[in-house]
């Protein structure tokens, strides 16, 4: 007898066996999902955080991991996304490790992503605006996060066992990041901005360190206080860096390959300030890094006083443009107009 496909019981049977086949195919997926509902600790989550904040004119930079404290489970990962034009690194060193110079990495660099369990250091290379870096944390522990180029830019990642409950969700961290970013950019240190500078004195940026439960971050104003100053031939202008962390330079003419040391035509005054002389607007002179001393710690040798001042004597009239070799891309530029 030929099978009559239009017979209702045959149709039902065909449909049933089709459903059975689909169920068999999906069975592993079904048990996996049921497992996740019953044992959520086996699901590794992916968290998001940001790096840095900046004003629209780029002049005010929040040097910060936002948020700078996150609680996650072992096996979870965090992806940091770069917001500002000022570069940063995402760096996890081992306990007590000496902070290496950026050129060496920690040593070496991971590109794109890394795994960190506290036993071997992990660092991104310099990250630029829009770039991302992810770190997987396979083991429980409390880990400090730093940036290799900005002092006091730290955070903490608390990695808990999967059986522990987490205090916050992603929405909480998004809110904290937004609030901290706003607070950093709104913060005005009125006294530093308004206090009297000596005649022919120019402030070379200022800033503040802000501490939180998870670490510290800072805001730096990457601007010359008076970007245009008028003096007379023979006068000396004095630049002072009033930022607690960020180094700056005062650079006339050709930018040197290495911005750290002063150019060879710079001398040191009796009070420790660096001093250059310019005879014409086409001459070059470079302050090198002028920067406050790092914060001292009991039990370690004291750091030498910072070299925060640079003076230039202008011999001839003319217009002398200058830049901060580190932050000219953020708009940190100035001009000295020398009248006869
Ligand atoms: Cu600068």
Indicate if the alpha-carbon torsion angle 16, 17, 18, 24 is positive or negative: positive
C-beta separation of 224 from 330 below 8 A: no
How far does residue 106's CA lie from ligand 1's centre (Å)? 25
- Residue 81's CB is within 10 A of a number of other CB atoms, namely 16
Distance (angstroms) between ligand 1 centre and the Cα of 130 equals 22
Q: List, as ranges, residues with CB under 5 A of the ion ligand 1.
A: 248, 324, 326-327, 332
Least confident of 35-49, 64-78, 151-165: 35-49
Q: Ligand 1 centroid to 324 CA: how many Å?
A: 5
Asked if residues 313 and 235 have their Cβ atoms less than 8 Å apart, the reply is: yes
CB atoms within 10 A of CB 190: 7
Q: What is the pLDDT of residue 13?
A: 55
Cα–Cα distance between 337 and 109 in angstroms, integer?
Answer: 45
Distance from the CA of 256 to the center of ligand 1, in angstroms? Answer: 15
In 3-state terms, the chain is what percent helix, strand and coil (to 5)? Answer: 20, 35, 45
Task: Residue 23: count other Cβ atoms within 10 Å of its Cβ.
Answer: 10
**From the CA of 236, how far away is ligand 1's center (Å)?**
21
Query: pLDDT per residue over 150-208, tens digit each?
Result: 989 999 999 999 999 999 999 999 999 999 999 999 876 555 555 556 789 999 999 99
Q: Band of the pLDDT at 326, cuts 50, 70, 90?
A: very high
Share of the chain above pLDDT 90, in %: 80
**If you compute the radius of gyration of the chain from its CA atoms, what whole number of angstroms results?**
29
In this prediction, residue 193 carries a pLDDT of 52
Q: How far is the CA of 122 from the centre of ligand 1 (A)?
A: 28
134-143, 183-192, 216-225: least confidently modelled range: 183-192
C-alpha 128 to ligand 1 mean position (Å): 17
User: In this predicted structure, what is the pLDDT of residue 4?
Assistant: 46
Cα 247 to ligand 1 centroid, rounded to whole Å: 6
Would you say residue 268 has pLDDT above 70?
Answer: yes
Q: What is the pLDDT of residue 11?
A: 55
Tokens of 258: 């290495």
CA of 248 to the centre of ligand 1 (A): 4
Specify the pLDDT at position 327.
Answer: 96
Whole-angstrom distance, CA of residue 123 vs CA of residue 104? 10
Q: What's the gap between Cα 169 and its chain centre?
A: 23
pLDDT beyond 90 at 23: no
Residues β-bridged to residue 231 = 338
Quote the ligand 1 centre to 59 CA distance (angstroms): 10
Six-digit token string for 195: 């206090």
Per-residue pLDDT for 3 more than 70? no
Q: 136: phi > 0 → left, psi -120 to 50 → alpha, else beta; which?
A: beta
Q: What digits encode the pLDDT tens for the residues 58-70?
A: 999 999 999 999 9
CA of 212 to the centre of ligand 1 (A): 25
Residues 224/205, Cβ–Cβ less than 8 Å: yes
Q: Give the Å distance between the CA of 7 and the centre of ligand 1.
A: 85
Ligand 1 centroid – CA 199 distance (Å): 22
Q: What is the CA(26)–ligand 1 centre distance, in A?
A: 60
Q: What is the mean pLDDT of residues 220-224?
A: 95
Bridge partner residues of 143 (DSSP): 157
Q: What is the pLDDT of residue 187?
A: 72
């Amino acid at each position: 007898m030929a099978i009559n496909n239009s017979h209702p019981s045959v149709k039902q049977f065909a449909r049933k066996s089709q459903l059975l086949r689909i169920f068999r195919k999906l069975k592993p997926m079904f048990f996996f999902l049921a497992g996740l509902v019953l044992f959520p600790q086996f699901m590794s989550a992916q968290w998001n955080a940001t790096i840095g904040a900046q004003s629209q004119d780029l002049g005010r930079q929040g040097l910060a991991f936002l948020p700078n404290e996150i609680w996650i489970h072992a096996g979870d990962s965090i992806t940091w996304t770069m917001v500002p034009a000022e570069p940063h690194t995402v760096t996890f060193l081992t306990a007590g490790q000496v902070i290496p110079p950026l050129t060496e990495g920690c040593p070496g660099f991971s590109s794109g992503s890394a795994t960190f369990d506290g036993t071997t250091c992990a660092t991104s290379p310099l990250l630029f605006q829009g770039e991302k870096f992810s770190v997987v944390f396979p083991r429980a522990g409390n880990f400090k996060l730093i940036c290799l180029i900005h002092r006091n830019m730290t955070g903490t990642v608390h990695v808990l066992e999967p059986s522990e409950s987490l205090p916050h969700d992603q929405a909480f961290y998004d809110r904290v990041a937004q609030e901290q970013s706003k607070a950093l950019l709104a913060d005005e240190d009125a006294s530093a901005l308004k206090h009297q500078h000596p005649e022919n004195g120019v402030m070379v940026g200022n800033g503040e360190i802000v501490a939180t439960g998870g670490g510290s971050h800072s805001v730096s104003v990457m601007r010359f206080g008076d970007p245009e100053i008028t003096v007379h031939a023979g006068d000396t202008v004095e630049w002072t860096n009033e930022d607690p962390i960020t180094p700056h330079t005062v650079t006339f003419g050709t930018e040197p390959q290495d911005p750290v040391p002063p150019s060879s035509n710079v001398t040191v005054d009796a009070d420790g300030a660096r001093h250059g002389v310019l005879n014409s607007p086409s001459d070059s002179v470079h302050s090198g890094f002028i920067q406050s001393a790092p914060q001292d710690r009991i039990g370690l040798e004291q750091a030498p006083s910072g070299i925060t001042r640079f003076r230039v004597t202008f011999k001839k009239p003319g217009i002398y443009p200058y830049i901060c070799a580190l932050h000219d891309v953020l708009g940190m530029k100035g001009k000295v107009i020398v009248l006869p």
